[in-house]
């Protein structure tokens, strides 16, 4: 069963930033995602997960989702991520007590994310947005 989530991003002073959240147990960094729910479209579920897990809202842009595989124990599972250009960051959100939210550069997100599939998704977003953050600039920051 394909999981659904978002890859929340925004621009800050010309730099691409990614919103990552801690897993519920707090031992790794992930992108907001969830299991399909009856009665919700994939996009609606992605928006719901963005709000519940990270307290973010925005528009889906680019429109086409990014499909990757993530690890679920010893097996791989497909994950469909919808790029979400963040327009608002809530001060309070449903899973705030269970998760930390971190706003980081795309390069830092790739270093922090615990799953290689999620790292690949950030890379794909960079390609789709027409460029890549220079690693030398990110490393010296």
Which residues form the domain of 87?
3-140
What does the alpha-carbon distance between residue 34 and residue 49 come to, in Å, rounded to a whole number? 6
pTM for the structure as a whole: 0.89
Q: What are the pLDDT digits (tens) for 35-62? A: 999 999 999 999 999 999 999 999 999 8
**Reported confidence tier of residue 13, pLDDT bands at 50, 70, 90:** confident
Residue range 121-134: average pLDDT? 79
pLDDT class for 130, splitting at 50, 70, 90? confident
Burial class (CB in 10 A: 0-12, 13-18, 19+), 137: exposed
Structural domain count, the chain: 1
Enumerate the H helices of 26-141 as residue ranges.
42-49, 106-112, 116-128, 135-140
| Domain CATH for 68 | 3.90.79.10
3-class DSSP state of 30? strand
How confident is the model at residue 131, as a pLDDT? 59
Asked whether the predicted pLDDT for residue 140 surpasses 50, the reply is no
CB 21 within 8 A of CB 111: no
- For residue 87, what pLDDT is reported? 95
H helices of 14-134, in order, are 42-49, 106-112, 116-128
Model confidence over 64-100: pLDDT tens digits? Answer: 999 999 987 889 999 999 999 999 999 999 999 999 9
Overall average pLDDT of the 1-5 stretch: 92
How far from the centroid of its chain's Cα atoms is residue 10's Cα? 11
């Amino acid at each position: 069963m394909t999981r659904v989530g978002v890859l929340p991003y925004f621009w800050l002073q010309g730099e691409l930033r990614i919103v990552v959240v801690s897993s519920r147990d707090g031992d790794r960094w992930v992108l907001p995602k969830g299991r399909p729910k009856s009665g919700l479209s994939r996009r609606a579920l992605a928006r719901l997960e963005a709000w519940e897990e990270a307290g973010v809202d925005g528009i889906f842009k680019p429109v086409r989702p990014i499909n990757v595989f993530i690890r679920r124990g010893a097996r791989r599972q497909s994950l469909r991520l919808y790029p979400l250009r963040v327009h608002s960051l809530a001060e309070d959100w449903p899973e705030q007590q269970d998760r930390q939210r971190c706003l980081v550069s795309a390069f830092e997100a790739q270093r922090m994310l615990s799953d290689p599939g999620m790292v690949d998704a950030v890379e794909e977003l960079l390609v789709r947005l027409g460029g890549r953050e220079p690693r030398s600039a990110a490393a010296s920051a």
